[in-house]
A and B are shown apart, each in its own frame.
Chain A
Amino acid sequence: MSESRKESIFKRLAEAVVIGDTKMAEEAAREALAEGIQPYEAVINGLAEGMKVVSDKYETKEYFLPDMLLSSDAMYAGLNILTPHIPKSETEAKGKIILGVVEGDVHDIGKNIVKVMLTAAGYSVVDLGRDVPTSEFIEKAKNEGAQVIAMSTLMTPTLMSMKTVEDKLKEEGLKDKVKTVIGGGAVNEDWRAKIGSDAYGKDASEAVDKVKMLIDTILSAVEVMKKEKKKE
């Protein structure tokens, strides 16, 4: 298959996400499989590229929630076709995130957008939903071997639930292995500093940048450790 043919499929996948065309995303995804394109490559160079454009438009307020949801529908439509053909190890290698709205809060629209963007960026996301008990964040992070816990809340009083998770992680000595990123209407940089969380994302696209930064730090630290071990 020619490079240009491949490029054109990637382009259509991206375009489908940008304009939020579910049908187009499905067709392009099927075509990618039929043409023997590596499905992981189709996600990263196609769907994820489209999501990047969407994310930029969201940041300059050109796109808003309705656009985001159309785009995410298109993205999931493409993913549903491609993911069954991707070996699990490939997505997990990039990083795993535990995501949820903290205990006491049920406002989850923002969280759902973060999920779309993280998924688009190729991460494996475990979505715990909303009003998630503190212990569940930590248990899931341990059981799933996740690198990052991402928490959000819209309401001010439930900020305390974030602190509880943070304190628990410290108490159990997990801070080296599991990093946290926080966001949502009530959250700001001051609060992050106050509770000692690792990062704050002011919106969905910044949250993804912060997750990438955290995961890269952890994975490179693991690499260094592995090398050290080899030397021994």
Chain B
Amino acid sequence: MEAAKTLGVDISSICGGKGTCGKCKVRIQKGEEGLNPLTDKEQKFLSEEELNANVRLACRAQLTVPAIIFVPERSRVGKQRLQTEGLEVPVTPNPLVRKHHLILPKPNLQDVRSDEDRLLDALREKHDLAGLEIDYEAAKTLPIDLRKKNWDVTAIIWKNKIISIEPGDTTDRCFGFAVDIGSTKLAGFLMDLNTGNVVSVTAKMNPQIPLGEDILTRITYAMMQGPKGQDDLQKKVVSGINEMIDECCKKADVKTEEIYELNFVGNTAMQMLFLKLWPQHTAFSPYPPVIRRGIDVDVTKLGLLSHPRANAHCVPVIGGFVGADSVADLMAVDMLESEEIVMDIDIGTNTEIALGNKDLTMIVSCASGPAFEGMEIKHGMRAATGAIEKIGIDIDSLEINYRTIDDASPVGICGSGLVDVLAEMLKAGFMDTKGKINNDLTDQTDRLRKTHEGWYEFIIASKGETATGDDITITQADIRELQKAKAAIRTGAEILLRRMNLTKDDITTLYVAGAFGNYIDPESARTIGMYPEVPIERIKFVGNTAGTGSRMCLISKDMREYAEEISARVHYYELASDVDFQNEYVQAMFLPHRDLSKQPILTEILRRLGRIK
């Protein structure tokens, strides 16, 4: 894996090289004798046939001698969707950083004011700014900076502090950097703070992944390793952020020193790891966050690439499992100002659901797991080239149509395809409402067969048409994982509705957020009962709003205040403490839901197709 990285060959890995996903299979063509012996983890993932063909997991096999290695199609990454797009919300720029151009009177025997007074007086007289003070670090070189261009200067002020003096008029160059710290992906936006416009954008995989595939394993890493582990995690994410800053600046011909403020949005755990807050107690029930409010930190303390006296702001969180990303969601859809009842579902490994309006908003967190991201699914993969993203089954002929990303030969199935396949199998009768594959149909179709594990699987693309040379299937075990994920989400939505004495009909808009949310078919998701049955036209996809919220809070202090208000006003509700949780969860396991009265539209459709009585 390391060698491939050095050579620029991208090998697929979901687990980040921990030997737990089995996606990085490579064939050793020459030099197999120089490799370490087969590990236990590899034995788990490799078939007899693969073992004989010298297939290894790239993350486990260690090279000691030169070797020739073949990376099969299925193990190649391909072009991955950045999934940084999110709802655009127009915000008038009102940043905390301001630049003011001044021409100061030179000191003489009649005017012996200090350099500091001279500057402060001019700022008061010309720009009506009072109560300012100068940063100690900026004061150190103040006399030099003032005199460099003969007292023609630009003062850079953050809140009420003069953080730097630049020679000449640089007011048109004032930049900020907004970051969305996702547990899988980082997204960075270089912003012009004068106009509020995006200057350049980039995204990259979170370099923390090798230390833990999800937030919980990363927290565990920190707990086990102590401060050194925290340090590792913090340095990794900062290195990723710095690479993005560097890249964005180069693209736009901006110097990193021209970035005076940075804004960060991530879930509570990601922000804790970024700020090196001790994460253990937040990971234990009842999951209290360390700090809830937004926080400002000197960039030097975090090691960020920017102006040395830039400020790094982390947006407030709501709870241990409801982070700044949720605050960003609610800000983007403006929930606290809404007259009407709206629901916002941010789908991810952890799914947050908010319900309410300007009078009352409640939010829950559901452990939905990574199944919709392709984890723990036999042929699951992320949304990249060759992923089956759309599937349809003809009800009469039972023929299957699918579409892949970039129209490449199919490699696996990504989240939106998984949602489709469940919905289509249900409608076509390949699966019942309990999620059981209908094995009575084995004599009518050659798409169903029994696996060696003892359960059934459904063939979506047969080996002749795939890039991997293997059938692409969905197994009964996969369906069970997906059911758990969708039931977790639906349970959160149902319990919220019940606790707020509302019904699905009260929801005027259902916002679906999250990177994956943008690509799912709203109808398919509704068919499997991922969310309450609302008319399709009420469903709106808002994409990755964490990036949106981060940009909004960067360019406007009003938005930063709004974020504080959201954090303070939204009520967190703990699902685990709800007496109905287990009962609701089990009902939500059914596709779409056990309680038919909750879904008149779907009941009608499924009844017509003969899927329910």
Q: Name A's B-contacting residues (CB within 8 A).
A: 59-62, 64-67, 69, 103-107, 109, 112, 131, 154-160, 186
For B582, list chain A residues within 8 Å (CB): 109, 112
Q: Which residues of A contact B217 (CB under 8 A)?
A: 156
Q: Is B284 a contact partner of A103 (Cβ separation < 8 A)?
A: yes
Provide the bound-state CA to CA distance between A67 and B480, in Å.
12
CA of A60 to CA of B479, assembled, Å:
12
A-B contact pairs, 21 of them (CB 8 A): A60-B453, A60-B454, A61-B475, A61-B479, A64-B480, A65-B589, A66-B434, A66-B586, A66-B589, A66-B594, A69-B586, A105-B284, A106-B576, A106-B577, A109-B582, A156-B217, A156-B220, A157-B223, A160-B220, A160-B224, A186-B216
Q: Is the CB of A64 within 8 A of B576?
A: no
Given A66-B594, A67-B434; A160-B586 close (CB under 8 Å) = no
Q: Which of B566-594 contact A (CB under 8 A)?
A: 576-577, 582, 585-587, 589-590, 594
- Do A64 and B434 touch (CB < 8 A)? yes
Given A103-B284, A131-B285, A155-B283, A65 and B216 contact (CB-CB distance below 8 Å): no
State the 9 A-B residue pairs at the shortest beta-carbon distance, nearest first.
A104-B284, A157-B283, A156-B216, A106-B576, A61-B476, A60-B454, A61-B455, A156-B220, A106-B285
Q: Residue A157 contacts which of B220, B576, B577, B587 (CB distance < 8 angstroms)?
A: B220
Name the distance in Å between A139's Cβ and chain B's nearest Cβ: 20
- Contact: A157 with B589, CB < 8 Å? no
From B216, B435, B589, A155 is in contact (CB under 8 Å) with: B216
What's the Cα separation between A66 and B477 when bound, in Å?
A: 15
A105→B283 CA distance, assembly (Å): 9
Report the minimum CB–CB distance from B71 to chain A (whole Å): 28
Name the B residues within 8 Å of A64 (CB-CB): 434-436, 480, 483, 589
User: Is B460 close to A, CB under 8 A?
Assistant: no
Q: Is residue B219 within 8 Å, beta carbon to beta carbon, of the partner chain?
A: yes
Closest B residue, CB atoms, query A112 = B582
Contact B454 A59 (CB under 8 A): yes
B62 within 8 A of A: no
- Bound CA–CA A154/B587 (angstroms): 21
Closest to A57 in B: B436
Is B102 positioned at the interface, with any CB of A under 8 Å from its CB? Answer: no
Instruction: Return the CB mask of B267-291 against A: 1 if under 8 Å, else 0.
Output: 0000000000000100111000000
Instruction: Give A131 to B284 CA distance when docked, in angstroms.
Output: 9
Q: Which residues of B contact A155 (CB under 8 A)?
A: 216, 283
B142 in the interface (beta carbon within 8 A): no
| B367 beta carbon closer than 8 Å to chain A | yes
B434 touches A105 (CB 8 A): no
Chain A residues within 8 Å of B477, by CB: 61
Docked-complex contact B223 and A160, CB < 8 angstroms: yes
Residues in B with CB closer than 8 Å to A66 are 434, 586-587, 589-590, 594
> Do B436 and A62 touch (CB < 8 A)?
yes
What B residues does A157 contact at CB under 8 A? 216, 219-220, 223, 280, 283-284
In Å, the complex CA distance between A105 and B435 comes to 28
* Closest chain B CB from A116 CB (angstroms): 13
Interface size on B, residues (CB 8 A): 33
Q: Which residues of A are found within 8 Å of B284, using beta-carbon distances? A: 103-105, 157-158
Tell me how far the C-beta of A21 lies from the nearest C-beta in chain B, rounded to whole angstroms.
16
Contacts of B594 in A (CB 8 A): 66
Q: Which residues of A sit under 8 angstroms from B480, Cβ to Cβ?
A: 61, 64
Residue interface bits B473-500, CB-to-A below 8 A is 1, else 0: 0011101100100000000000000000
Q: Is the CB of A159 within 8 A of B436?
A: no
Q: Is the Cβ of B219 less than 8 Å from the Cβ of A156?
A: yes
Complex Cα gap A66–B454 (Å): 20
Chain A residue nearest to B439 in the complex (CB)? A62
Q: Do most interface residues of chain A lie in helix, strand or loop, or is the interface mixed? A: loop
Give min CB distance, A232 to chain B, whole Å: 46
Residues of A within 8 A of B589 (CB): 64-66
* Contact yes or no, A104 B283, CB < 8 A: yes
Residues of A within 8 A of B224 (CB): 160
- Check B367 against A107 for contact (C-beta < 8 Å): yes
Beyond A59-B454, A107-B576, A109-B585, 18 additional pairs, beta carbon < 8 A: A61-B477, A62-B455, A64-B434, A64-B435, A66-B587, A66-B594, A67-B434, A104-B283, A107-B367, A131-B285, A155-B283, A156-B216, A156-B217, A157-B219, A157-B284, A158-B284, A159-B220, A160-B224
Chain A neighbourhood of B435, CB < 8 A: 64
Q: In the complex the two chains form, what is the Cα distance from A160 to B220 in whole Å? A: 9
Chain B residues lying within 8 Å of A60, measured Cβ to Cβ, are 453-455, 476
- B283 close to A158 (CB less than 8 A): yes
- Give every chain B residue within 8 A of A104 (Cβ-Cβ): 283-285
* In the complex, chain A residues whose CB is within 8 Å of the CB of B483: 64
Alpha-carbon distance between A104 and B284 when the two chains are bound, in angstroms: 4
**Residue of chain B at shortest CB distance from A157:** B283
- Bound CA–CA A64/B484 (angstroms): 10
**Minimum CB distance partner of B221 in chain A:** A156
Shortest Cβ distance from B20 into A: residue: A188
Who on chain B is nearest to A189 by CB? Answer: B40
Residues of B within 8 A of A61 (CB): 455, 475-477, 479-480
Q: Given the complex of chains A and B, what is the CA–CA distance between A224 and B9 in angstroms? A: 62
Minimum C-beta distance from A143 to chain B (A) = 25
Report A183 CB to chain B, min CB distance, Å.
16
A100 → chain B closest CB, angstroms: 13
Closest to A131 in B: B285
Residues of B within 8 A of A156 (CB): 214, 216-217, 219-220
Residue of B nearest to A104 (CB): B284
Give Cα distance in the complex from A103 to B589, angstroms: 27
Chain B residue nearest in CB terms to A103? B284
Q: How far is the CA of A156 from the CA of B211 in the complex (A)?
A: 13
Task: Enumerate chain A residues within 8 angstroms of B476, measured Cβ to Cβ.
Answer: 60-62
Q: How far is the CB of A194 from chain B (nearest CB, A)?
A: 11
Chain A's nearest CB lies how many Å from the CB of B342? 29
A112 to B585, CA, bound (A): 14
Which residues of the other chain, A, contact B434 by a CB distance below 8 angstroms?
A: 64, 66-67
Which of B285, B475, B577, B587 has the most CB atoms of chain A within a 10 A radius of its CB? B285
Q: How far is the CA of A62 from the CA of B220 in the complex (A)?
A: 34
Q: Hey, which chain A residues are within 8 Å of B280, CB to CB?
A: 157
* A204 CB to nearest chain B CB (Å): 13
Tell me the minimal C-beta distance from A135 to chain B in angstroms.
Answer: 16
CA distance A11 to B452 in the complex (A): 30
Identify which of residues 591-611 in chain B touch chain A, using a CB-to-CB cut-off of 8 Å: 594
- Write out the residue numbers on chain B whose beta carbons fall within 8 Å of the beta carbon of A106: 285, 576-577
Cα A107 to Cα B488 in complex, Å, equals: 12
Measured between alpha carbons, how far is A156 from B283 in the docked complex, in Å? 9
**Neighbouring B residues of A107 by C-beta, 8 Å:** 367, 576
Bound complex: CA A62 to CA B576 (Å): 27
Contacts of A186 in B (CB 8 A): 216
A126 to B479, CA, bound (A): 33
Please, how many angstroms separate the alpha-carbon atoms of A64 and B214 in the complex? 26
Closest chain A residue to B587, Cβ basis: A66
Q: Which residues of A contact B576 (CB under 8 A)?
A: 106-107
CA distance A60 to B577 in the complex (A): 32
Per the bound structure, the CA–CA distance linking A39 and B585 in Å amounts to: 34
Q: How far is the CA of A67 from the CA of B586 in the complex (A)?
A: 9
